[in-house]
Amino acid sequence: MTTRIRGVLAPVVTPFDASGSPDAGRLLQHCLWLQRHDVGLAVFGTNSEANSLSLDERLDLLDRLIEGGVAPERMMPGTGCCAVTDSIRLTSRAVAHGVAGCLMLPPFYYKAVSTEGLYRNFATVIERVGDARLRIYLYHIPPVAQVGFGFDLIERLLREFPGTIAGIKDSSGDWNHTQRLLTCFGGPGFDVFAGSETFLLANLRNGGAGCISATANVNPAALVALVRRWQSSDADTLQAGADVIRGIFQRRPMIAAMKHAIAHWRDDPEWVRLRPPLVELAQAEGTALIRELTAADFSLPALAAH
């Protein structure tokens, strides 16, 4: 049986070229760099600007990453779309590549939808993909999607599709909610990932699987060190250090801030681009970001040759 993915995963930021198209070469380079740091790859997540990418763009990027040497067993691509047919196509392609799992948003455009409707969405995806290798990680992010996963829905999905429903990313921002998920569902068959390293140590101490966090894109070594040493005497110090860096990025629009930092430390200004409606940091804000990160002894390890 394939080992389940655990530890630190990054919702990988997506670079764009001068024409506004996804820059597959830079994305591959960044993914391979993260992989060398033992970070899993949750491509097509929120911080990947996934919902600004077309379905065809995501399918193409997924193919090109695998062809470029990214290990599918270290991938958890986001495959949840508003249209169930899009979810089926993207999930099917990901499973065919042998990924560790698929991170799935609920269909989020319509609000106040019923538990029955959400259940039918996931049941349809599972039945239409029709592959025993499928492992779904539910993506709970009500601050953004507004549509979330109630405990009754999770219970029903686990009951009807044991083994296929493999876990959840909890981006509620509420530790009490994460802790309740761990108490009610956590265990060998259901892995709970925190949506931020803010709760990484607490999650690990309570039986969680790790975190899927934006700043794993730029601070991978520190987060992986915390996972490896969470039972050591310096674990709280490592958590505090990670919190400092997280706080600096979090005080700005996160995606723009991370791309600005990558562009600065890699001396590659192409990285600052975002796809509308998102925009890059203003010059003064970017300068302040670099100043604060430098004062916090932050550095971005260079991209080694691969």
Q: What is the structure's pLDDT at 306?
A: 37
In three-state secondary structure terms, 286 is helix
User: How far is it, in rounded angstroms, from Cα 20 to Cα 11?
Assistant: 20
Q: Is the pLDDT of residue 108 over 70?
A: yes
What would the mean pLDDT of 252-266 be, rounded to a whole number?
97
* Confidence band for 224, pLDDT divided at 50, 70 and 90: very high
CA dihedral 132, 80, 213, 133 (to 10 degrees): 10
Q: Is the pLDDT of residue 252 over 70?
A: yes
Are residues 185 and 165 in contact, defined by beta-carbon separation less than 8 angstroms? no
In three-state secondary structure terms, 218 is coil
* Confidence band for 305, pLDDT divided at 50, 70 and 90: very low
Token reading at 147 = 């549509």
Q: What is the structure's pLDDT at 2?
A: 60
What's the whole-model pTM score? 0.96
Q: State what percent of residues in the chain have pLDDT above 90.
A: 96
Beta bridge partners of 192: 168
Identity at 280, one-letter amino acid code: E
What would the mean pLDDT of 177-194 be, rounded to a whole number?
96
Q: Are strands 210-212 and 136-140 parallel, antiparallel or unpaired?
A: unpaired
Residues contacting residue 169 through CB under 8 Å, at least 6 positions apart: 42, 103, 137, 138, 139, 140, 141, 193, 194, 195, 212
Q: What is the structure's pLDDT at 120?
A: 98
Q: Which of 123-132, 205-214, 297-306 has the lowest mean pLDDT?
A: 297-306
Output 300 or 296, whichever has higher pLDDT: 296
Q: What is the structure's pLDDT at 155?
A: 98
CATH number among 3.40.640.10, 3.30.413.10, 3.40.220.10, 3.20.20.70, domain 7-230: 3.20.20.70
